[in-house]
Amino acid sequence: MDFLYVIGGFVILLIAGDALVRGAVGLSLKLGIPALIVSLTIVAFGTSAPELLISIKAALDNAAGLAMGNIVGSNIANILLVLGLPALLFGISTQDASCKQNYMYMILASVVFVVMGLLGSFTLLNGVLMLLMLAVILLQAYRHASQSRATFLATTDEIPQTDGVWWKIIIMLAVGVIGLPLGANLLVEGAVNIAQRAGIDEAVIGLTMVAIGTSLPELATTVMAAYRKEADVAIGNAIGSNIFNLLGVVGVTSLITTLPVSPTFISFDFWVMLASSLALFPFIWFKFNLGKFWGALFLAVYVAYIWMLFV
């Protein structure tokens, strides 16, 4: 049954990921706002739902290592795996992806997360501060969307007609947002059960199988976005998901219960997460294309990281 869960979850993820990409692009066209903004908000939050649910459950079950491993491991996977695999398969052009500001938000969130983590635990106060930061970022995204829509309407006087109608767009978004957590949950449950029977440590399970499993919605969405040449959706999804994981998932979890940080995270995994985030700098800032070579390199680094966790 565990292997059937893994296979079934994978199939659901691919179908739901494609639906979410198509719905997001259709929504951006209907509203006259950049696809990047939709991917940074609706798509990113939808694909980060598994991280939120699993981290809260793990924290309440006194499995802090699993919760923290899920968050840190997912952010590492979102850069090296979620962007690496689509780049290797199709290449991701960053020429039209205008996300410098949001990338800097992600770096800021990463630094704040590490600094707070170095203190030994995430408390109620940490959670409030992180959620306030997330609220400010969302407010900026709303303002940007409003300005983009106003500029668009000023130059065209109307929203262009698209092939998609509202009910189709809503259905595709719903299939994506509901199907991705469902598929991820099936896959994670099967993989974790297999790992636990093999006697693998809780924190390692969180950093590997659970982190990869909860990043599969992002991976499925980004693969389909790269296939459809929607670079804004691909990159925006990864950046937005990392922001939401650090500020939203940790913030909400810290409101419910104090989240202690294991020394192993402080000595190694936090810095891998920061380095992975900084590795995107030339692609975001200087518009270097994330081609197949870089995709292969990202994946090789990720495989090396996973290997180091098990030796």
Q: HEC states along the chain?
A: CHHHHHHHHHHHHHHHHHHHHHHHHHHHHHHCCCHHHHHHHHHHHHHCHHHHHHHHHHHHCCCHHHHHHHHHHHHHHHHHCCCHHHHHHCCECCCCCCCHHHHHHHHHHHHHHHHHHHCCEECHHHHHHHHHHHHHHHHHHHHHHHHHHHHHHHHHCCCCCCCCCHHHHHHHHHHHHHHHHHHHHHHHHHHHHHHHHCCCCHHHHHHHHHHHHHHHHHHHHHHHHHHCCCHHHHHHHHHHHHHHHHHHHHHHHHHHCCEECCHHHHHHHHHHHHHHHHCCHHHHHCCCCECHHHHHHHHHHHHHHHHHHHC
The Cβ of residue 298 has, within 10 Å, a number of other Cβ atoms equal to 23
Banded model confidence at residue 164, pLDDT cuts 50, 70, 90: low
Residues 6 or more apart from 117 whose CB is under 8 A from it?
261, 265, 266, 270
Average pLDDT over residues 199-207: 69
Closest CA to 17 of 231, 188, 183: 183
Question: Which domains does the chain possess?
Answer: 36-157+202-310 (1.20.1420.30)
Q: Is the pLDDT of residue 27 over 90?
A: no
pLDDT of residue 35: 66
Residue 159, pLDDT > 90, answer: no
- 174/119: higher pLDDT: 119
- Phi, psi angle pair for 158, to nearest 5°: -160, 155
The tokens for 187 are 């896959």
Across 58-69, average pLDDT: 79
Amino acid 283: pLDDT: 92
Span 76-117, pLDDT tens digits: 999 999 999 999 999 888 876 677 888 999 999 999 999 999
48-62, 91-105, 159-173, 244-258 — which is least confidently predicted? 159-173
Give per-residue burial for 230-243: e unless 16+ CB within 10 Å, then b. Answer: bbbbbbbbbbbbbb
Q: What is the mean pLDDT of the chain?
A: 82
Give the Cα separation of 274 and 270 in Å (integer). 6
Query: Across the strands, what pairs with 121?
Result: 260
